[in-house]
Amino acid sequence: MTREKNFYSPAAIFKPPKAMRGGVPICFPQFGNAGSLEQHGFARNKLWAVDDDPPPLPPNDSVGKSLVDLLLKPSEEDLKFWPHSFEYRLRVSLAASGNLILISRVRNINGKPFSFSFAYHTYLSVSDISEVRIEGLETLDYLDNLHQRERFTEQGDALTFETEVDRIYLNSPNAIAVLDHERKRTYVIRKEGLPDIVVWNPWEKKSKSMVDFGDEEYKQMVCVDGAVIEKPITLKPGEEWTGRLEISAVPSSFCSENLENTGL
């Protein structure tokens, strides 16, 4: 998964505490503004430490990959707003195939339970949003953020784009395909521990209102996020949650019928 497969806005502001418009921001411990914290929580705006001695992961998540292990712990300021002690370990790895793998492990080191929502806010680069379709969401219920999270059911055999989209698809399959017809390329998103999928494209009107996003850039991106939103994770003291996301790019002959039959 190389840089050109992720979307980064040239207008992005690379200055904390402003979140970067592009890549894969980490939304933790809150997704969106449905809570007391800032939009999408504080993790995406933090400086993380390199984790020199992380707890082991299965060999298939280590062997043959270039990787870095990162660690986030709450600051005293964080604890004022979200009074829960945690250790968040993030492994970012790149396989020889170009697949990008993100593994998050959140451990409760608090004396009491806490709950959180989460998303890998994945910006994908596409040729033209009007030529993109997402397969694997058919018949799923979703919450529409453009209608106060009212619940609907997806009626189409694939999701296409003709206007702003901001939806949370619930109980989604562990593999989703994002087809870019013009580039003849399909992104395959595989996930574990992430039951929901967020799909977002701001379209023309909202794009013009965002200072860190070009007026026409909505045509070259779509966000497809592995997430836990409808039913937040609750961890008892000492418990750990793991959420894994893998993104690959395959030829466009690939389709959703193949999702469960390939090792990609």
Q: Model's pTM, two decimal places?
A: 0.90
Pairing relationship of beta strands 123-125 and 221-235 according to DSSP bridges: antiparallel
Q: Which regions of the chain are under pLDDT 70?
A: 1-4, 7-22, 36, 63-64, 212, 253-264
pLDDT for res 2: 47
pLDDT computed for residue 34 by the predictor: 75
Based on the structure, what is the number of domains in the chain? 1
Task: Tell me whether residue 7 is in a domain.
Answer: no
CA–CA gap between residue 111 and residue 102 (Å, rounded):
28
| C-beta of residue 76 within 8 angstroms of C-beta of residue 70 | no
> Is residue 16 one of the residues assigned to a domain?
no
3 lies in a domain? no
Q: What pLDDT is recorded for position 58?
A: 81
Domain that holds residue 107: 26-254
Residues 6+ apart with CB under 8 A from 62: 93
SS3 4: helix
The CA distance from 249 to 229, in Å, is 26
Is 220 annotated to bind a ligand? Reply is: no
Residues 42 and 26 sit within 8 Å (Cβ to Cβ): no
Whether 4 is in a domain gets the answer no
Residue 85 gets which letter from DSSP? -
Residue 128, in any domain of the structure: yes
